[in-house]
Amino acid sequence: MSAPQPAPPASPIPTPVSPAPEFAAPGPPAPFRLSAAQLGLIASNFLMWGGFFAVIPLVTVHFSGSVAGGGLGWSAASVGAVLGLRQLTQQGLTVFGGAWADRWGPKPLILLGCALRTLGFAWMGFSDSWAELLAAAVLAGVGGGLFDAPKSAAITQVTPPEHRTRMFSLTSMSGNAGMVMGPLIGAALLGLGFRTAALSAAAVYLLAGAVMAVTLPHLRPQRLAASSLDGLRAAAADTRFRRFTLVLIGYFILSTQINVAVTLKAIALAGNGATGPLYGLSAGLAVLLQYPLLRLVERFVPVRSALVAAVLLVGAALGLMSVAATFPQLLVCVALYSLGTMIVYPTQQTLTARFAPPGRVGSYFGFSAISLGVGGAVGSVLGGALVDGGAGLGFPALPWLTLAVIGVVTALGLRWALRGLPAHAGSASG
């Protein structure tokens, strides 16, 4: 959900915030206080991630699990195909969801997306054939594609430029908290049956939509484009932003390894039970440390430098996994990896908002989804292939050294792509 959005206590209906001119004299930033809209975005993001992880991990357990254990006994490949098509549907539609948000405002897209995901998850609970499960998963993916980029656009519009890094950090923390709670709740609900778990997750998305309906104002587009694709064309024609988006594919190749190469190594070192501590450490650190770490970074490091350094840290942590001979040693590397990833998300989102001119924010966030979609797909294939290749060659360090090199190349590429971007918020298209 990728995996991939928050605002001050009840305040007047916020209006879209235009980036400050580059030549504006810097002054003391306004105090950072959360509005009702931002609080609603934080809360709904927690609900969305929690609802997602309450049911999606159970799809494999229920449909591919042994009949003796209460599963349906479907092949893992058939269920994997369903989940892969859901992801492809969501990431593909996210590109257009951002453009539509620029035309109609983010709120209608978010509400429609929540409604469709509610229906998709509920349908999963009643699916008893592969075709039905596929249709339900694709419907859930369409919902995600509609609300993903519009959420980021809404955060940008209700948050002044100087506070956006903190806001994206708070939203990311709420998502990570949902990632921690969701699987625990889903596992408890599974005892009552998969249908109950699926319907409960659907109800969570219904609640998230209700929160957005009450707290998020209708943020009207700053200018109405002649076509919903105009913004995407502008983002694609923005040379610096296009470079930035394409270079970030390298980072998402690295970030997906927590689900591929890192998980495979953890299981090799400590068995199937290793996945719980692995994901718990990664998400738990993000919940506890992401916001204070971002505050510290904000004080001393420019956002561009912070992003480059964080990508380097992620690559270095993966490289160090080549010498991790025990599970505790691997967890130390995972902690370093997590510190890097928790800096990348809010800085990448902040820079995307900085690139976007007024009226094109949703389109720029939609276009940026290309890096996650391509990087995630390539990373999933590449990670497994490197692990298999290293084992076949008798060179188990192969995947980790290769990933470390990708990290270095990506960091250098980001430094190049961000040249000339204003050090402070302002339009950077060109």
- Per-residue pLDDT tens over the stretch 262-281: 878 888 898 766 767 887 78
List the Cα angle 1/38/110 in 5-degree steps: 45
- Within 8 A by CB and 6+ apart from 186, the residues are 53, 54, 55, 57, 58, 197, 201
Phi, psi of 395 (to 5 degrees): -130, 75
Q: Cβ–Cβ contacts within 10 Å for residue 300, how many? A: 8
Mean pLDDT (whole number) for 361-386: 83
| DSSP category for residue 193 | -
Q: Which two tokens stand for residue 402?
A: 């290769």
Positive or negative, the CA dihedral 105, 109, 111, 112 is positive
User: Average pLDDT of the chain?
Assistant: 82
- Per-residue pLDDT tens over the stretch 52-108: 888 877 787 778 766 776 778 777 667 767 877 887 788 788 888 877 887 888 899
Tokens 């809404």 belong to: 154
Which DSSP string corresponds to 5-51? ----SS-SPP-PPPPPPTTSPP-PPPP----HHHHHHHHHHHHHHHH
Q: What is the pTM of this model?
A: 0.72
- What pLDDT sits at residue 11? 36
pLDDT band at 422 (very low <50, low <70, confident <90, very high): low
* Calpha distance 189→204 (Å, rounded): 13
List the Cα angle 352/171/291 in 5-degree steps: 95
- What pLDDT sits at residue 27? 53
pLDDT band at 360 (very low <50, low <70, confident <90, very high): confident
- Per-residue pLDDT tens over the stretch 306-339: 999 999 999 999 999 999 999 999 999 999 999 9
Q: What percent of the chain has pLDDT over 90?
A: 34
Q: Cβ–Cβ contacts within 10 Å for residue 237, how many? A: 11
Mean pLDDT (whole number) for 328-353: 91
| DSSP category for residue 188 | H
CB 415 within 8 A of CB 308: yes
Q: Which two tokens stand for residue 263?
A: 């998980």
| DSSP category for residue 397 | T
CB 364 within 8 A of CB 352: yes
- What pLDDT sits at residue 25? 42
| DSSP category for residue 424 | S
| DSSP category for residue 224 | -
- What pLDDT sits at residue 47? 95
- What pLDDT sits at residue 77? 65
| DSSP category for residue 118 | H
pLDDT band at 200 (very low <50, low <70, confident <90, very high): very high
Q: Which residue has the higher pLDDT, 422 or 248?
A: 248
* Calpha distance 135→161 (Å, rounded): 40
pLDDT band at 169 (very low <50, low <70, confident <90, very high): confident
- Per-residue pLDDT tens over the stretch 1-36: 444 433 333 333 333 344 443 333 445 566 778 889
Burial class of residue 352, CB neighbours in 10 A (0-12, 13-18, 19+):
buried
